[in-house]
Amino acid sequence: MDFLSMNAQGFPLLSILVFLPLAGALVTPLLPGDNLARWWALFVTLAVAALSLPLFSGFDATSALYQFGEHRPWIESFNIHYTLGVDGISLLLVMMTTLIMPLCVLGSWRYIEKRVPEFMICLLVMETSMLGVFLALDLVLFYVFWEAMLIPMYLLIAVWGGPRKTYASMKFFLYTLAGSVLLLVAIVALYVSQGTFSIPALMGQQYSLGFQVMVFLAFFLAFAIKVPMFPFHTWLPAAHVEAPTAGSVILASVLLKMGTYGFVRFCLPITPDAVVELLPYLQWLSVAGILYGGFTALAQQDMKKLIAYSSVGHMGFVTLGIFALNERGLEGAMLQMINHGVTTGALFLCVGMLYERTHTRDLNASAGLGRFMPIYVTYLAFFSLSSLAFPGTNSFVGEFLILAGAFFNNAWAAVAAVPGAILAAAYMLRLLQRVIWGGTDNPDQSKLSDLGWRETLTLAPLLAFVFWIGLAPEPFLRVMRPSIGHLLAQTGYQAPNALALADLFTR
């Protein structure tokens, strides 16, 4: 257990974080009335968010160890343990999840009118499984959380979704499940080869290249579908468009990150030789995703679809950063995961708020809101600028680091990815221009009310993060640096040094 720094006071902070939402979900059916269920879910998610703060403040940013560790036997016959721990790679993802969830509850406050308690139960169960995925240090525990997430997400889309909810939810479920059954086989293969399911113990072992490639491909399929990497992305637009706002936010902010987290957590340290062997393919697939996502987003009339396809592009940047296999690239990728979560989550919330008022997501029908909804369009403008990586916003830092990293590993791929950034500017500015200044041939819009205090409050924290990360990313990069260094050392891949310019930027 030398990789795990146990929790000093013996206070099981991580377990409480993971299972508090589940406990909250179990209480929810007992509450009378829809409003009480809403307030209860908000209370529970806020409590989880508050409990995650000591995680950040107590985290030792100089160490690459898994911290706040918990280790208990679970199924000893198969050497399966209940091991939780947080390191620089999972810390920010955990924080983001706990931040996003209360906002999801707030974002669904009026949006969800039927079967509210059940909806809140699904949200809370989702939170448990998502936190579990980021904190589990045992492969079976990880897999249980990974798969358990499918059920509430399926129900979120299938029950509270849009007109084509059945199609979208089935597609989501089948795609992700088809990917993860092979993940299970890979997990079993690793167990048979090393006799353990402990994730840290499986890292940095000597496996034959053939074995690594097999395991990597199984991992890759599961994670690439989740990310989703081009060409495994086809479930995403349907799921995003049909899901209720909170579902879209969770999908964009957290679920997609589970895929990229899987690449970083499993593929790089467990199958490094296979990654290096397949590196060019992975990089070019990322570039293809960036360009494809950009071009397709440009052609969308439905705002949710536009943001969904932009996600494919943004996640392409993240995978490009991961497979740059150097410090800059990985730092950028990790940061961009958070950025995408904050920005795209916020954009989906914005679309949801508009949809509550106009019951349409069509760009033309929502045109010209600038005069009537000043607070709304201000938010929308900032989040759009963040999405297109405007300097001073969070995504700029992330994309810059990713491109800096990619340039030093595969300059051609990096050059090919740059138009992706331009495309992002094109489709986001098109969206902004339409919504704020577009022709107002729709007479109803003058009657639209601007954001209320609840909605303003929902978006405010996300905007704060946009600027905080954009202007002072160092606190966020600092916590992940030792873990990334350790991770790169484990891959044993001699990546070229990153740009001196990038150093200037982040110090």
Residues at the interface with other proteins (CB under 8 A) = 73-78, 140, 143-145, 147-148, 150-151, 154-155, 158-159, 165-166, 169-170, 173-174, 177-178, 181-182, 184-185, 188-189, 191-192
Q: Which is nearer to other proteins, 189 or 499 (CB)?
A: 189
- Least Å distance, CB 183 to other proteins, is 9
Q: Which is nearer to other proteins, 192 or 500 (CB)?
A: 192
Residue 44 CB-half CA count within 13 A? 28
Q: Which is nearer to other proteins, 117 or 470 (CB)?
A: 117
Q: Which helix (H) or strand (E) holds 172?
A: helix 165-194
Residue 284 buriedness (CB in 10 A; 0-12 / 13-18 / 19+): middle
Burial profile 23-49: b = 16 or more Cβ within 10 angstroms, e = fewer: ebbeebeebeebeebbebbbebbebbb
CA-based R_g, the chain, Å: 22
Q: Which is nearer to other proteins, 185 or 411 (CB)?
A: 185
Q: Which is nearer to other proteins, 179 or 405 (CB)?
A: 179
Q: Do β-strands 80-86 and 66-75 pair in parallel, antiparallel, or remain unpaired?
A: antiparallel
In angstroms, the CA 12 to CA 281 distance is 42
Q: Is 127 helix (H, G, I), strand (E, B) or coil?
A: helix
- What is the torsion angle, in degrees rounded to the nearest 10, for the CA atoms of residue 81, residue 86, residue 87 and residue 91? 150
- Least Å distance, CB 54 to other proteins, is 27
Quote the DSSP letter at residue 137. Answer: -
For the chain, report the end-to-end CA distance as a whole number of angstroms: 33
> Which residues are registered as beta bridge partners of 54?
none
- Least Å distance, CB 35 to other proteins, is 20
Q: Which is nearer to other proteins, 1 or 184 (CB)?
A: 184
Q: Which is nearer to other proteins, 46 or 177 (CB)?
A: 177
In angstroms, the CA 67 to CA 84 distance is 9
Q: Do β-strands 4-6 and 66-75 pair in parallel, antiparallel, or remain unpaired?
A: parallel
In angstroms, the CA 248 to CA 257 distance is 13
The residue among 290, 213, 250, 207 whose CA lies nearest residue 100 is 250
- Least Å distance, CB 147 to other proteins, is 5
- Least Å distance, CB 178 to other proteins, is 5
The residue among 249, 428, 260 whose CA lies nearest residue 337 is 260
- Least Å distance, CB 143 to other proteins, is 7
- Least Å distance, CB 289 to other proteins, is 24
Provide the token pair at 8. Answer: 């000093």
Cα-to-chain-centroid distance, residue 56: 18
- Least Å distance, CB 185 to other proteins, is 5
- Least Å distance, CB 396 to other proteins, is 39
Q: Which is nearer to other proteins, 11 or 78 (CB)?
A: 78
How many other CB atoms sit within 10 Å of the CB of residue 11? 12
Q: Which is nearer to other proteins, 143 or 323 (CB)?
A: 143
Q: Which residues contact 347 (CB under 8 A, 6 or more apart)?
A: 307, 380, 383, 384, 387
Q: Which is nearer to other proteins, 145 or 207 (CB)?
A: 145
- Least Å distance, CB 217 to other proteins, is 12
Residue holding tokens 């209370």?
43
How many other CB atoms sit within 10 Å of the CB of residue 506? 20
Q: Which is nearer to other proteins, 177 or 298 (CB)?
A: 177
- Least Å distance, CB 146 to other proteins, is 8
CB 64 within 8 A of CB 485: yes
